[in-house]
Amino acid sequence: MPVLKRSADAGRLLVDLVTRDPAFVRGGDLDPFDIPVFTFHGLEPRAFERKLAYLRAAGYQAIGLPAYLDAISGRRAAPAKSVLITIDDGRATTWTVGYPLLKRFGMRATAFLVTSAVHDTSEVSKNIGDTPESKWAPLTARDESSDRPFITWGEARAMRDAIDLGSHTHLHARIAMSHENEGAVTETMRRGYGEFDCPFLWLDGRLVRGREVPLGTPLPVSAPRLSGKPAYRSIDRRFETEAEVKEAVRFDLEEARRLLQKKAEVEATSVCYPWHVDSPLARQLAAEVGYVAGFAGKAPAPPAISRPGSDPFAIARVGEDYVERLPGPGRRSLLSVLRQKLRRH
């Protein structure tokens, strides 16, 4: 089975290279005014530092979200060789690793926060910028810990001078699609990001997930909430109505904007779709509640980099592995990048 999985992963990577990834990933050039958008999640100090150093040495600049939105809307061009760094989820290393390194390199990023996961405290922890390297371990491991695996609201406010804030919805939710099961709750689904992989279940009359679900509980076939599909309600053995789906999607989008305004004191202009899955309903409601842009994953078809005139609610992004495939001195070989991706998978 592991051999078959590795073969399938390799096959998908090759198909994406040919059909979906930007030309620079395959070794081609980058149009001077194209702005690649890179996706990060948890951050490791040396790897993130190396990517920022490569950008600087090759003459690129990581710009802020307002400048990016101005560029793709056609309002104002960004400087040549601009990139946008996006960091999904709001994991703790966004603050402990990302913030101090971005400050050091004079670059910006955009963090899309799952507002229900942000720890509701004004406390601000130490980061690697104000801690000796010998004491970095607990700071870089916070993403996987049971103690504050995500940033706090205090940290969200403190990072605004280098990191713009957007929405990754309020719940980053998965929903049951039927009464049929696939798999069971694992230990990794009971902490940190792993909780998002556990769909919401009806237990004792309440909708719960993650640590509130006993280990080994059967899991139903599921899909992301923003897919626009109706959830199966095991509590009364029916599917949601169209009105219930709309209400749930609207809440997930609107509550995130409300909390970002209240707790982080920012106006969230953009939403990033969890698991890169959206729907016509999600895009419509995102616009209705006040977002002006939506970030997705890989483009389903060329162009693989969003440009002025592209759908602002379907902004294409590229995986962080390909930062060092941008044209420049010391450009990393594609083979080494693919090997690393396959090892990680």
Candidates 313, 344, 245, 299; CA nearest to 25 is: 299
What integer pLDDT is reported at residue 5 of this predicted model? 54
Domain assignment of residue 286, yes or no: no
Stretch 214-231: mean pLDDT: 97
Tell me the pLDDT band of 1, cut-offs 50, 70 and 90. very low
| CATH code of 14's domain | 3.20.20
Q: Is the pLDDT of residue 287 over 50?
A: yes
What integer pLDDT is reported at residue 295 of this predicted model? 98
- Regarding whether 15 and 125 lie in a shared domain, the answer is yes
Q: What domain count does the chain have?
A: 2
- Which residues on neighbouring strands pair with residue 222, listed in sequence order? 176
Q: Is the pLDDT of residue 4 over 60?
A: no
Range of the domain at 160: 2-168+296-344
Question: Average per-residue pLDDT in the chain?
Answer: 94
- Regarding whether 209 and 110 lie in a shared domain, the answer is no
Structure tokens at 285: 């409601």
What integer pLDDT is reported at residue 95 of this predicted model? 98
Q: Is the pLDDT of residue 16 over 90?
A: no
- Regarding whether 118 and 6 lie in a shared domain, the answer is yes
- Regarding whether 309 and 220 lie in a shared domain, the answer is no
- Regarding whether 164 and 303 lie in a shared domain, the answer is yes
Stretch 192-196: mean pLDDT: 95
Indicate yes or no: pTM above 0.85: yes
- Regarding whether 144 and 189 lie in a shared domain, the answer is no
- Regarding whether 193 and 115 lie in a shared domain, the answer is no
- Regarding whether 181 and 131 lie in a shared domain, the answer is no
Candidates 273, 303, 95; CA nearest to 167 is: 273
